[in-house]
A and B are shown apart, each in its own frame.
Chain A
Amino acid sequence: MLKNIIDVKNLSKSFDISSKEPGLKGTIKHFFRRQTKSLKVIKDISFEIKEGEIVGFLGANGAGKTTILKMLCGLIYPSEGSILVSGYFPFRRKENFLKNITLIMGQKQQLLWDLPPIESFYLNASIYDLDKFEAKKRIKKLSEMLEIDEELFIPVRKLSLGQRMKSELLAALIHEPNILFLDEPTLGLDINAQRNLRKFLQKYNEETNATICLTSHYMKDITSLCKRVICVHEGAISYDGKLDLLLKKLSPVKEILIVCRSEEDAIKLENSGFTVKNKIKNEITLKIENNAITSSLKTILNNFDIEDLFINEPPIDEVIGKVLIKKDYDI
């Protein structure tokens, strides 16, 4: 049985937030008497993550996903509750703990801007106390996996966003961490660069059995990498479980477009007891529950003269979008 590598119990975090009224009067008032209020951004959450799991954190902007990641890696001190990551309390930031983890943020960079990425890699290697030979070996291995070569020797400021992100990944993984915290790693990347990055993460996970905690607004990142998702709504967990179960729950029916040989067949099908969404001439769209798809299609194909049919999956963004605005999901 796989052991828990992350263990979070009744975790909460509050921040003091100041608010300001609009206009000059508000500005002056804000300057002299700043009104702050304590805002609970994470509310009593608990979850466990097993070694080697890839878990996606889903939520709207400001839901608290990044705050959770930052508490898990030890950047933010929790207000209440306990966190254990790889047996360590993260905020103590012990050397052995830090050598085990990495944080990659799509919107922030650690590479030295004016120098080629290779310089940042060797700097990181010295910080992680790797000798030159070992560092060279790891850079070679990771650059092959990431498919970067010449880019290693071009100043960072001259690299494309995709090349920069790959280099960021290499810099963040040179110490071979076994827990990866990724905060929107594909932000701003084009479709091909996103796909390559996902491919790399999948491969890295398979080869090293690293645990990956990922936040992303690109649903493709979540669906292609994560079997499990944790949905965060206004600082609380609204769903924690398998992604496919959530999708089934959120979209229990599929739409099937059937093109009949004649309009008469379409009329016959319309009156045969299926739920009809719409009908245009010889084309009819039916709504069929996921668990009845096979039997329904069998019936249709045996009893009607069908020219063609299409099964339409509801758009994943639309389905997941429902999670972001709902408080609780019992599956």
Chain B
Amino acid sequence: MNLRKYLKVYNKFLHTSLASELEYKTNILVDLVTAILSLVGSIFLLSIFIQNSGYIGGWKFEQALIIQAIYTILNGITNTWFNPNLTEIVKHIREGTLDFVLLKPIDSQFFISLKKINPSGFLEITLGFLLLFFCIRINQINLNLSFLTLSLITISCSICILYSLWFFISTTTIWFVKTWNAIEVLRSFLYIGRFPLSSFSFSLRIFFSVFIPIAFITTIPSEVFLGLSVFWKILLEIIVATIFLINSRRFWLFALKYYSSASS
């Protein structure tokens, strides 16, 4: 793989999608306001859940806020990269414009996963980080190298899991053509990631760990922040993320053999 070429192409992707989005100023403003209101609403909801006992799933409000911060960062990444690109796969396949992607001398997964960005998602990422720094202060978390490394690893793994799940569902469009509903279900499952895994019943914990590993996405990085993490959980998250990423790639290459292109 020619890394220099891919960096050059990604630079062009950034440039063209920013230019496209900036054509619609009002839309960006609405997205920015929505991102702020969404974060305020989520914190408000969390405070309602917590006001009686002072805890949710054994976590205090200021600890649960870390999960909210990580969720906000991940949701920002989702809105910046995954949403504009991975929902477009369905359109590419339904309308047959995937033909143009497949005939370019560039990796098709790279192209369809990163071609667009939604700049308003950057605000959400920024808000998420601001909330995270606030949580680090109020929880008196000691920032050291091992902590930063572990947080980076676990958050990266979360991004990989989230991307792979979404990409996997979008790929099934090659056979089922319409998969909007499945993507909506995944998005609604992601909301669950705003709360600690321990706040759910045992059966739901198993479901969100084994079948749809939403729990890994926010809970494990949050545990790292609070010093509650155990080695096997981090290792498990790394393994799950690697398996998901590799399989999403293999599934895409397998699915392309069945791509019949839309009729003209």
Q: List residues of A whose CB falls within 8 A of some B CB.
A: 15, 66, 70, 73-77, 93, 95, 98-99, 101-103, 105, 107-110, 112-115, 119-120, 122-124, 126-129, 155, 183-184
Contacts and interface: CB of A to CB of B under 8 A. Distances in A.
Given A107-B264, A127-B9, A155-B23, A99 B100 contact: no
A126 B264 contact: no
29 contacts: A66-B263, A70-B261, A75-B102, A75-B103, A76-B260, A77-B257, A93-B102, A98-B105, A99-B105, A102-B103, A103-B99, A103-B103, A108-B99, A112-B16, A114-B19, A114-B23, A115-B19, A119-B15, A123-B9, A123-B12, A126-B9, A126-B12, A127-B104, A127-B105, A127-B106, A128-B105, A129-B2, A129-B8, A184-B264
B38 interface: no
Contacts of A114: 19-20, 23-24
Contacts of A76: 259-261
B186 to A, nearest CB: 23
A155 B83 CA distance: 24
User: Residue among B15, B19, B100 with the most chain A CB within 10 A?
Assistant: B100
Closest 8 A/B residue pairs (Cβ): A98-B105, A110-B100, A114-B20, A95-B105, A126-B12, A114-B23, A123-B12, A126-B8
A103 B98 CA distance: 12
B96 interface: yes
B205 to A, nearest CB: 35
Interface string B66-101: 000000000000000000000000000001110110
B5 A126 contact: yes
A256 B191 CA distance: 80
A108 B97 contact: yes
A208 B100 CA distance: 23
Contacts of A120: 16
A66 B100 contact: no
User: Residue among A73, A119, A126, A129 with the most chain B CB within 10 A?
Assistant: A126
A107 B56 CA distance: 55
Interface in B156-206: none
B89 to A, nearest CB: 16
A126 B99 CA distance: 19
A108 B95 contact: yes
Contacts of B102: 74-75, 93
B78 to A, nearest CB: 22
Given A75-B103, A101-B103, 5 more contacts: A74-B102, A123-B12, A126-B12, A129-B5, A155-B23
A105 B95 CA distance: 12
Nearest to A119: B16
B13 to A, nearest CB: 8
B99 A105 contact: yes
Contacts of B5: 126, 129
A112 B20 contact: yes
